[in-house]
Amino acid sequence: MSAAFPLRPEEFDPRWVEEIFGAPSGSLQSMSHKPVGTGQVCDSFRFTCDWQDAGYPDSFVAKCPSADPISRGAAAIFHLYDMEVGWYRDVAAQSGVGCPRCYHAAIGEDETQFVLMLEDMAPARQGDQLAGATLTQVRSALGEAAALHSFRPETGALEQYKWLLHGQSNGDYMRQSLPAIYPEFCKRFADRLSSDILDMGAELIAKFSIYLDAEPANPCITHSDMRLDNILFDDGGNRAILVDWQTATLGNGTSDIAYLIGTSFADPAERAAAEKGLVADYLTELSARGINQDHDLFWKDYRRLAFSGFIMAINASIHVEQTERGDEMFAVMAERPAQMALDLGSLSLL
């Protein structure tokens, strides 16, 4: 291993894996791996294990730093690896949120070296960001969002988790960087996004500080990238499992809801017809978990935060390795919530 823990799949030594699972030396007879997922800022692999004795996982998923230096650099700038390791190390097991069990989590001081060993959630499958979601899938994901947004630690406050506080510095960085990178984003996606969307984006960028400076009424842990590529579903879409916690922060839960609904529906008419009912269902579930929010105020905040997915697409598309699939994903990530913002008159709230 090149560090105190493996950074690439070929560095996973069977004896080290045995130690992680508390298994006797020599009990892991063989181990193989293959890539899994479509992550842009880290690399994931499914390991298949042949144990001499029963009682240990037949497979697990390992997350490692991206092989691409651009993506690793972006992860360090935005503390992405630190946030995900923090989530699994400190909160996941007690959160009540549908997410993989963590077997091991470690990170280096410079935040470019990390490893996660997670429960393999197969046969659950990743949602398809390009194709869009079913209404059932969105409903089940909103149920997990309610569980996340209602979580409070048994002792202490959420602020005790220092990795949750990176959101402030990330916002400050974007306050400076987004105006500079938006022209590059427009140039790359000029043939894919309408002039109405790009013009709306220019006005949003001009008012971006106003957008950032609004304080959440009920701060909570937010996933902050709650889209289909980061959610696993069972065959019927009735069970959602949230993964890729690299943007977990202390923020406004409404942003997760606007982000999820805004990026999930391929047909804007289907989204427009369903969104008020979906928001009402989410608020009902939140209330059942002891968190009550005023519906009208929440709806206004939902409209204002319709830009969430659009902003993520601008920022992420410029900072990670460019791929053909990635560009199409960022295009739909931008287009769908931008259309939602136009439909909801979101600029008028800035």
Q: Report pLDDT digits (tens) over 42-54.
A: 899 999 999 998 8
Beta bridge partners of 233: 125, 240
Please report the beta strands in 197-275, taking only residues with DSSP state E, as ranges in sequence order: 219-222, 231-233, 240-242, 249-252
Find the Cα–Cα–Cα–Cα dihedral 312, 314, 319, 325, rounded to 10°: 90
Whether residue 281 lies inside any domain: the answer is: yes
Last residue of a domain, one of 102, 119, 136: 119
- Claim to verify: residue 18 and residue 150 sit in the same structural domain: no
2, pLDDT greater than 60 = no
- Claim to verify: residue 175 and residue 75 sit in the same structural domain: no
The whole domain housing 320 covers 125-349
Query: CA separation (Å) from 86 to 83, 100, 150, 168, 283?
Result: 5, 14, 18, 16, 27
* Mean pLDDT for the stretch of residues 10-39: 93
pTM, full prediction? 0.93
Closest by CA position to 143, among listed 84, 95, 98, 102:
98
pLDDT confidence of 41, banded at 50, 70, 90?
confident
Please report the beta strands in 180-278, taking only residues with DSSP state E, as ranges in sequence order: 219-222, 231-233, 240-242, 249-252
d(CA 70, CA 68): 6
- Claim to verify: residue 112 and residue 151 sit in the same structural domain: no
- Claim to verify: residue 197 and residue 345 sit in the same structural domain: yes
d(CA 92, CA 45): 20
Q: Report pLDDT digits (tens) over 159-174.
A: 999 999 998 888 888 8
- Claim to verify: residue 280 and residue 333 sit in the same structural domain: yes
Q: Report pLDDT digits (tens) over 180-197.
A: 999 999 999 999 999 999
- Claim to verify: residue 220 and residue 235 sit in the same structural domain: yes
Whether residue 158 lies inside any domain: the answer is: yes
The total number of residues written for the chain in this structure? 350
pLDDT confidence of 327, banded at 50, 70, 90?
confident
Whether residue 3 lies inside any domain: the answer is: no
d(CA 160, CA 197): 39
Q: What confidence score (pLDDT) does residue 24 get?
A: 95
3, pLDDT greater than 70 = no
- Claim to verify: residue 173 and residue 74 sit in the same structural domain: no
* CATH number of the CATH domain containing 57: 3.30.200.20
Q: Report pLDDT digits (tens) over 239-251.
A: 999 999 999 999 9
Q: Which two tokens stand for residue 350?
A: 């800035």
Last residue of a domain, one of 119, 136, 163: 119
Q: Report pLDDT digits (tens) over 131-162.
A: 999 999 999 999 999 999 999 999 999 999 99
* CATH number of the CATH domain containing 218: 3.90.1200
- Claim to verify: residue 101 and residue 141 sit in the same structural domain: no
Whether residue 247 lies inside any domain: the answer is: yes
Name the average pLDDT for the chain: 93
39, pLDDT greater than 70 = no
d(CA 73, CA 27): 38
- Claim to verify: residue 251 and residue 322 sit in the same structural domain: yes
Q: Report pLDDT digits (tens) over 60-115.
A: 999 999 988 888 888 888 899 999 999 999 999 999 999 999 999 999 988 889 99
Q: What confidence score (pLDDT) does residue 38 get?
A: 67
DSSP secondary structure letters along 104-163? EEEE-TTSS-EEEEEE--TT-EE--TTT---HHHHHHHHHHHHHHHH---SSS-GGG-GG
Whether residue 4 lies inside any domain: the answer is: no
Q: Which two tokens stand for residue 222?
A: 């937010």
Whether residue 19 lies inside any domain: the answer is: yes
- Claim to verify: residue 185 and residue 92 sit in the same structural domain: no
User: How many structural domains is the chain composed of?
Assistant: 2
pLDDT confidence of 4, banded at 50, 70, 90?
confident
- Claim to verify: residue 115 and residue 133 sit in the same structural domain: no
Whether residue 93 lies inside any domain: the answer is: yes
- Claim to verify: residue 229 and residue 102 sit in the same structural domain: no
Higher-pLDDT residue of 179, 173: 179
Last residue of a domain, one of 87, 119, 151: 119
Whether residue 2 lies inside any domain: the answer is: no
